[in-house]
Amino acid sequence: MKVFTVVGARPQFIKASVLSRAFLSSNIEEVLVHTGQHYDKDMSDVFFSELSIPSPSYNLAVGGGTHAQNTGRMLEKLEELMVAEKPDCVLVYGDTDSTLAGALAAAKLHIPIAHIEAGLRSFNRRMPEEINRVLTDHMSSLLFSPTEDAKRNLLAEGVSSEKIFVVGDVMYDATVFYSNRATKPSWVDQAGLEIDNFVLCTIHRAENTDSEDRMKNIFSGLADSCIPVILPMHPRTRKKLDSLSMLLPDIVRIVNPVSYLEMNWLEANCKLIATDSGGVQKEAYFHKKFCITMREETEWVELVDKGVNCLVGDSSDLIRSAINSSGFYDFSEFFYGRGDAGIKIVDVLKAYI
């Protein structure tokens, strides 16, 4: 069996590491295609090398344009490669432009599509990610959901239950596999950080970075943190901050983008996490850290219901209150499988393709 895997963004490289290992042990041929959506070296190349992911068979070098430009260019190039490679299945992850382009190209060529992280919904159609995930789900032949909630979303949209497989979360597989390889960033000691006494923060969503008011509100809330805030700076966020000429509060310490293994260390050793990332919300839970989500909604609703994730939008008051609170958070219940999602996915692919 030949699987054609499409990746293009940091979280997808991490997820792909899980399936690539499972494919190797099952003698399944994988054609790994990197669209180039994350073209910054610190956001792309380093993940392939440190996670021991095989070098991509192809790198399309498509990135930096609008959603329409990126998707269109990816679609054209992916179709050409699929025709040449003749895969038995096209595998896509998550909700990026690369995900949608891979699914569209496969659907037009009548190649079965397997979607990892199927059924997630934020119910906000203004988010490009929501459009990508909904369209991909409804084109896919096999839908691999991380939770029962995700399955229920698909069933509510009329998707046949025969297509849906609740397998757990491949991101949890990755966290388990790499947890003993976490790497302390070289700058931690010099920065004087104390274990369990700093906030780890990430900001990259366009809904935040494209709004001067939202960015000012977020940093106003972070400014009143009682402990240091460490912010690995996403290239998009840095560009926006430069254009706004914003003065950042002293408590917020900007660092360069970190690798996945460094991020793992920071997540394991911080006090709490503030983010607008979907993946980091889950990683916070894997590491038993309270998460402050700087969005109006999340696709990981079970974490909010459990009380270990707090939606604050861009409210400076809510951000300030959440950071400085000292509540008890119950991490005893687990939602995302047992770290064997990759094996389950491979078993389904072998049975159905």
Residue type, 318: L
Q: How far apart are CA 296 and CA 173, in angstroms?
A: 28
Q: How far apart are CA 17 and CA 128, in angstroms?
A: 25
Length of the chain: 353
234 is catalytic: no
From the list 34, 38, 204, 287, the catalytic residue is: 204
Which structure tokens are listed for 214? 């939202």
Torsion of CA 107, 113, 117, 123, to 10 degrees: 20
Strand boundaries in the chain, DSSP class E = 2-7, 29-34, 58-59, 89-93, 113-116, 142-145, 164-166, 199-202, 229-232, 252-255, 272-275, 290-293, 309-311
**Within 13 Å and on the Cβ side, how many CA atoms surround 143?**
26
Catalytic residue numbers read 204
